Homo-oligomer: A and B are copies of this chain.
């Protein structure tokens, strides 16, 4: 079964075409833009998968032979131009097929995703098509991707349900003396089993790690072999991908009874997150949501806040796909729209304590918002 309906993918093409301006074709090089316009997620491993959407003729894909079957299964696109590893370097092969296709259709005014295309790929295409004109259509693609269709929303809800299951498992199993990496492993196994049972047709990936005390100040690390220590504040991070749509759910956990300074930070963080979530409704700017959280921290004396309050999730990995206009930050005056999904995750540095936080997935609805992860009340104590 295809990930997305034919109507969904063709609808994306229809929405994009009016933004083409003088260009006569969109060429999507990056993983996320190519996936968005084709409906088939092809993990690159060095082999470009390029989706081509002309203004006035049928769409096509350039891809590796080994991905042909997967593309046929998931994409309503029926024209595939394939290369194999035998033909020569994959990048050169893909550019050769792409330029032949564009030339054969007389397409020389090319809109492409400059934020996701390497300089080397563009230079190769320019060399193969002297006189072609190029325009960047990244902004239009990004703005479309910020708002989810119902089909996309269903993936995000599934991923969030799996993440909630992982959070529950970790918390239930967390005892003083158990290694963090063991807890992370059990949470990942529980999530994988849950996903296989409840969503057998969705390809999922799960990730889980935790950080105790001031180690939570080191961004984006992995699980450690440390055992749970009493009276440490801990950050628990879970990321789940459903067909490459990413969600994150995070929890601040207290091991045992928290000292006063931990409790004060924790309660401030909860209030900041509540304040940000309550600000979410259509027509409000991302900046307004950020300020709602920031003011709470600042009023409590926590003024080391180097990060925003969260971001639009979905078509993103840690490597690529983050859309700046979907960042909840003080400078971002872009407006919230129904069917955006945000991770709301404000934090500040609490000296000597760390910086753990809650992160919840919040959907912008027609009139307000819906918290789609299972957000708990009050301080979570484990051990």
Contacts and interface: CB of A to CB of B under 8 A. Distances in A.
Contact of A45 (B86, B186, B318): B318
Given A182-B189, A186-B189, A195-B181, A306 B86 contact: yes
Contacts of A31: 319
Interface residues of A, number: 72
Interface in A194-249: 195-197, 200, 203-205, 217-225
Number of copies: 2
B324 A45 contact: no
B70 A219 contact: yes
A43 B220 contact: yes
Interface stretch (A16-24, A112-120, A143-151, A259-267): A112-120
A118 B123 contact: no
Nearest to A116: B118
Contacts of A184: 192
Contacts of A138: 120
A181 B193 contact: yes
A235 to B, nearest CB: 13
Interface string A162-184: 00000000000000000101101
A224 B200 CA distance: 7
A308 interface: yes
Given A185-B193, A189-B189, A200-B225, A85 B307 contact: yes
A106 interface: no
B69 A218 contact: yes
A129 interface: no
A225 B119 CA distance: 41
Interface stretch (A3-11, A59-67, A276-284, A369-377): A59-67
A112 B222 CA distance: 30
Contact of A114 (B114, B123, B221): B123
Interface in A6-49: 31, 43-46
B120 A89 contact: no
A381 interface: no
Interface stretch (A95-103, A152-160, A326-334, A360-368): A326-334
A271 interface: no
Point out which of A45, A119, A322 has the most chain B C-beta atoms below 10 A from its C-beta.
A119
Contact of A327 (B85, B311, B319): B85
B136 A119 contact: yes
Contacts of A193: 179, 181-182, 185
B224 A196 contact: yes
A219 to B, nearest CB: 5
A84 interface: yes
Contact of A219 (B66, B90, B319): B66
A121 B192 CA distance: 37
Interface string A51-85: 00000000000001111011000000000000011
Contacts of A220: 43, 45
A91 interface: yes
A331 B90 CA distance: 11
Contacts of A324: 46, 89-91
Nearest to A30: B118
22 contacts: A45-B318, A66-B219, A69-B218, A70-B219, A85-B306, A85-B329, A86-B306, A86-B329, A86-B331, A89-B331, A112-B119, A115-B119, A117-B119, A120-B138, A179-B196, A182-B192, A186-B189, A200-B225, A203-B221, A204-B222, A205-B222, A319-B320
The 3 A-B pairs at the shortest CB distance, nearest first, are namely A196-B225, A46-B322, A185-B189
